[in-house]
Chains A and B, each alone.
Chain A
Amino acid sequence: MIPSDPSKVTAICFDRIHLPGQATLEVARKNGAYSYLPTVLNEMNREQIIEQVKISGLRGRGGAGFPTGLKWSFVPRNTGKPTYLLCNADEGEPGTFKDRDIMRFDPHLLIEGMIMAGFALGVHDAYIYIRGEFLHEANVMNAAIKEAYAANLLGEHILGTDFSMHLTVHRGAGAYVCGEETALIESLEGRPGRPRFKPPFPAVEGFYRCPTVVNNVETLATIPAILEHGGQWHKQIGVPNSAGMKIFSVSGHVNKPGNYEVPMGMPLRVLVEEYCGGLQHGDVPKAVIPGGSSTPWLGPEHYDVPLAYDEIHKAGSMLGSGAVIIMDETADVVALTRRLSHFYAHESCGQCTPCREGTGWLERVMLRLEAGGCNARDIEVLQDASEHMAGRTICALADGAAAPILSLLRMFPDEVNSYLAENKA
C-alpha cells in the first residue's frame, strides 16, 4: 500500500494501523503483511540487507538516533556465540507513546521487521522487552506471535527456508531506566536494570555477553518498507541526515494530542497547528520539549524549527524519541520542572554517585523552591548539581535529569526568581 514514489509517502509504520482487525494475521496478510518476506529470505543475503538499511539513512527511533545499518554492521560474525536481537518496547520516556500504537494495532508489522532484522543478523532468539504496564499490548503481541508461529512465520525453518528464529515477549516491571539498552539487557537477564558501562558495547558483548542488537519498535517496524522499496527510496523521504518518516507523540497543551507520522523535517509549527489542532491557549507555545522529557526545552523562537536531527540540535536540543510536549502560556514551568525532577529521582537506578544523590537533591530543592523556601544560593546549587551530573555517569539518565532544570534556569530566570523566598514574601 505504501506508494513507491517517496514523495507520496504519507505513512510507513502507521500505514495500516487503523485498518479494522489489522492485529490479526488474516487481516494483516490481506493488507500486505509478510508479502515481501519470502523474497527477503530467499533472495537477499545478510550483507545486502544491511547495505540497504545503511543506504536508507534510517536512524534509531529510540532516542539516540544512531544509524541502524551501521549498528548492525558492528555485530561480529563467527564468534561461536549466538547473536541476539532485542526489541526495545520499554517506551518510558515521558511524552512517548508511539510504540504502544504499533504493538496494539499492527503487531505483525513489528514481527515482520524483527524477522527481517533477525535474518540479517543471524539471530536465532529474539525478544521484545515491553514495559510491564503495557499488559494489553503484551497480550496482543503474544496473540500475534502465536499466529505467526502457526503460520510458520516464526520458529524453525521459517517459510521452508534454513532460517529459524524464536520470538518471546518479555515484560518489564516498572523501571524507566530499563529503556536504556544495557539496563534492558541486565533486566532481561533477571537482574535490576542497572546500566552497564561501555565498552564493551552490546553489539559485541550484550545479552549474556553475546553479540546483541537492541532496536526500538519503530526502528524495526520501518525495516519491511525499506527492504521492499529499497534503501534509496527511504533516503529520499524527509530531509538530508534525517531520512524517512517519524512518529511524533504530541502531548500537553494542544487540542488534538496524539501520534502523528510525518516526514522528517516538517516544521514544528506545522505539526502543532495542522495536525494537532493548535494550542489550547495563545498563539505560540511558552516552551516545547521536542524529544521527550530528557531533552532540553525550546522557546517560542524555535516554533518553526524543522523536526530533524541536525536542525533541532542546532536549536539546542535533541529530536530524541520524537515526544513533543507543548506548554502554552498557562503552564507553570516551575511546577512542571519539579514534577520532572521527581521523575528522575524516582527512576535513577542509583548506581552512579552524581545521579543517585544529585537527582534526589534536585528534587528536594525544587520542592522547596516551589514552596517559596529558596534563596539565590539554592539556584546556584540547582545549576551546579545539574551541570556536574550530566555527561559524567554511566548512562544518559543523569543528562535527562539535568535537562529540565537547566532549561528552566536558562529560559525562565524571572519566573524562577519570583519563587525565591525574598520575592515571595
Chain B
Amino acid sequence: MSMQVDTTQMEKVSFNAEQLEEIRELVARYPHPRSALLPVLHLAQQHFGYLPMNVQQLVADTLDVNLMQVREVVTFYTMFREQPTGKYLLEVCTNAGCMLNGACELLEHMCRTLGIRVGETTPDGLFTVTEVECAGACGGAPVVQVNNVYHEKVTAEHMDQLIADARAQEDGGVA
C-alpha cells in the first residue's frame, strides 16, 4: 500500500471542546507544544479507536506540526495503530521471562480457541490477538494485556474463561 496520501480527499474529524481543553493543558506542561504529540495521539486513539490518516491530520493541525512528523511518530511506536482492532485486544508477551514460563504455548492455545492467527481479528470483530515484547512484569509470567490491563500468571483456563465472559457479555448486550 502506498503511504502517500491525498489529504484533500479525507473525511474531516475534530476534537470536542473538552478534549481541546485537555490538549491545551497538556501543551502547557512542556517547553514546546510538539512534546504533547505522544499524549495527544494517545488521547486521539482512545477517542477514535485507532489513528487513520484523517485523525493524524487532525493531530498535526491541532499541534501545528507537519503531518509527516505525526506519521513518523505513529509508525515508530507499536502502541499507535493505523488499523482498527477487535473490541478486546489481547496482547501476549512471549519474551524471555514469559517464554520460559509457557507463553508460546498459551498464545498457540488462544489462537486455536479463537480460530485466528497472531495479528488477526475474529470475524465477529471481538478479539484481536497479538504478540508483544516484554511487558515489564516478568515476575508474573506469562503476562497478557487485555485492552491494556495486565493479567499475570495467566493459564489457558484463565484465557478461556476471559474469552467466554467477554462473549457472554457481548451476547447479553445484544439481547
Contacts and interface: CB of A to CB of B under 8 A. Distances in A.
A251 B80 contact: no
Contacts of A136: 149-150
Given A97-B136, A249-B139, A327 B32 contact: no
A298 to B, nearest CB: 15
A173 B80 contact: yes
Interface stretch (B14-22, B89-97, B121-129, B160-168): B89-97
Contacts of A339: 94-96, 99
Given A94-B133, A189-B32, A257-B138, A171 B39 contact: yes
Given A95-B138, A191-B73, A343 B37 contact: no
B39 A340 contact: no
B34 A251 contact: no
Given A136-B149, A170-B39, A251 B78 contact: no
B69 A190 contact: yes
A343 B95 contact: yes
A336 interface: yes
B138 A94 contact: yes
A357 to B, nearest CB: 18
- Most chain B beta carbons < 10 A, residue from A91, A190, A335: A190
Contacts of B149: 135-136
B72 A293 contact: no
B35 A188 contact: yes
Contacts of B77: 132, 172-175, 192-193
A190 B96 contact: no
B118 interface: no
A251 to B, nearest CB: 4
B154 interface: no
A268 B149 CA distance: 33
Nearest to A89: B136
B31 A100 contact: no
Interface in A330-359: 331, 335-336, 339-340, 343, 346-347, 349
Interface string B118-150: 000000000000001111111111000100111
Given A172-B38, A340-B96, A134 B32 contact: no
Contacts of B72: 191-192
B73 A168 contact: no
A324 to B, nearest CB: 10
B35 A190 contact: yes
A250 interface: yes
A176 B36 CA distance: 20
Given A132-B42, A336-B99, A340-B96, A190 B29 contact: no
Given A132-B77, A191-B69, 10 more contacts: A82-B31, A95-B96, A132-B38, A133-B79, A133-B145, A174-B79, A176-B134, A189-B34, A208-B31, A349-B76
12 contacts: A95-B138, A96-B138, A125-B31, A133-B145, A136-B149, A189-B34, A192-B72, A208-B32, A249-B139, A252-B97, A343-B133, A347-B133
Interface of B: 29-32, 34-39, 41-42, 63, 65, 69, 72-73, 76-80, 94-97, 99-101, 132-141, 145, 148-150
